[in-house]
Structure 1
Amino acid sequence: MRKLSTILLGLILVSLASLLALSLWLGQPAQTITHRILFASSKALSQPYNQQLLAGLKASINPSDDIEIQTLALPENVDEQAALLSQQKLLTGDQVILHSTYSLELTSQLENWLKQEVKVSLIDSPKVQLSQASQLGWAPLEQGQALAQALKANSGTETPLILAYQAHNQESIKRLKGAQDVLDQSGQAYQTLALEGDKLENQQAMLRAVEALASKPAVVLLDQVSIQELARYLHQSLAIPDIYSIGYQPQVFSAIEAGDIRRNLTPNPYALGYAAGQTGQNQPDKASDVTTKLTYQWIEAQDLFNPQFASWLFPLE
């Protein structure tokens, strides 16, 4: 009888110990799994645009989440880009964000990541088309459409437009096509002007185009190579008051500050970075909403030092 009591007591003690261990285990905070976000860009990581994309990306992450952000500068050579990315060992649940990567050579590597349940977000990478990847930003064609739609709301159809684009530059040509699609439907009068590399030839071409019109035109600079010089010539030498542009370069804002460009349709890199982070958290609808509403904004001279835009018009400290 005593032996049986001892066995029962032992079983009870073992059960109590097991229950105590179980309760302690259940009471422990769940271990967080570290996920990695790899931000890779074919543009210099030190550029203000990239710094603000990264700031938006960081703002999208909940501080309580154990997420590590790594950055990678991609070389210009397509094959070197693909080779460098293939060396990155990403795991299920990780995310890769590519900015301004135009190579179709990367598609196979990205597809492999998608099969491994790595999330892929592409910012301003129109040539890399993957059905399961989140495509963020507007392609050049859409940029031209957005610019033309914004112009329609700000100038009457009586004002002739000159659409100046960079010859032999596919992005500039696509912006032109997007603007034409919108303007053709609205009945807006316009003419196109192909810009070349030579500064003097561009100025002479502008002069001929302006002189051929009965009234002062509004000039739309779809080219992002020589905006500042052309804007100064148009405004100061040809006395054109209405000069519009699209893009995100320091010389654009210098031209606005000097009064040579009236308005610029400016992308908001902070919002794009935020949207990229949101796509990695299985919130594509929210990310799409952020991107659509905040990607572009008209910027005029009085906006340059407006606190509302300061965080993404100028480099972050």
Structure 2
Amino acid sequence: MQRLPPIGNFAAFEPGFAPRYLLTVDTEEEFDWESEFSATRHGLDHVRHIARFQEFCENLGISPVYLVDWPIAQSELAQEIIGGACARGTAEVGIQLHPWVNPPFEEEVNAYNSYAGNLPPDLEREKFLNLRDAIEANFNVVPQIYRAGRYGTGPSTAKMLAQAGIAIDTSVRSKFNYAKGAGPDYGLHPLKPWWVGEDHKLLELPVTSVFWGLLRRSADRLYPLATKIEPMAGLLSKLSLLERIALTPEGVSVEEALRGVDIAVDDGLPIIVLSFHSPSLAPGYTPYVKNDADVDALYDWFRQVCGYLGQRGVRPTTVAEIIKNVHA
């Protein structure tokens, strides 16, 4: 999963399908992002706020995909809100594995093991299958898309997903390197979707982040160097020379995101993947949303960014549509 795709292995789409955008929600429990990982210290108070977000999406004509982890899969309220939207055909459900809250609990709970791909393959697979089966039973859906929590794929992840019949993986966060924390390095991974393996059964759909600025064509070489010198990345951004823009409302302004949209569209990216964490729908559960004004700003971000995507000719899509329209 962490190797670059061979040349010629990028996916193609039916004429007239692209460009599209997919709105993904890391739908997960609340926990303290600054504390050690825990199998028990978490909450689900924000789940009721998902109903407002779902109504918001429906009013914009967007069908979000909720990437559900174990605590969410066990929540009757989440099953009612998200499952009801799926039954109406206005949302989809995928899988997100947070190993530290997902049975079986055989490993030591720590930062290294928070990346599911670092676990022994049999344990990664057993946790994944437990979660998949719970989602199928509790939401009455057959999930077709997966994201490893913390983007934590490993050497056995692709084989596991292919054997389970998962059509799309969206764990790769291109242009980000998590190796310092024992996670994957996606710094040189491309943004265009590619097939994992030669059988064309598993599509990799990276989370969208782009480089903007006068030096962006050299970003893959320059940005890793700049991040090693603490003030350098900020200075390059301030001078409009080089800036990494993730297409998320969490820590990224509307103005930055619109620049990122322009780069993605102008570069011909066929599918743009937006993402954020569901606890950001209520104040106080993520570092990005601390009060009601921040919640309002998150909704305004989606209103403006999705509106601008429409102006640039990029329509919303779904997992089902992507699977129907992709080919080798």
Q: Under a length normalisation based on structure 2, what TM-score does the superposition of the two structures give? A: 0.33
Tell me which of the two structures has the higher relative contact order, counting C-alpha pairs closer than 8 angstroms and 6 or more residues apart.
Answer: 2
| Larger Cα-atom Rg | 1
Higher helix share: 1
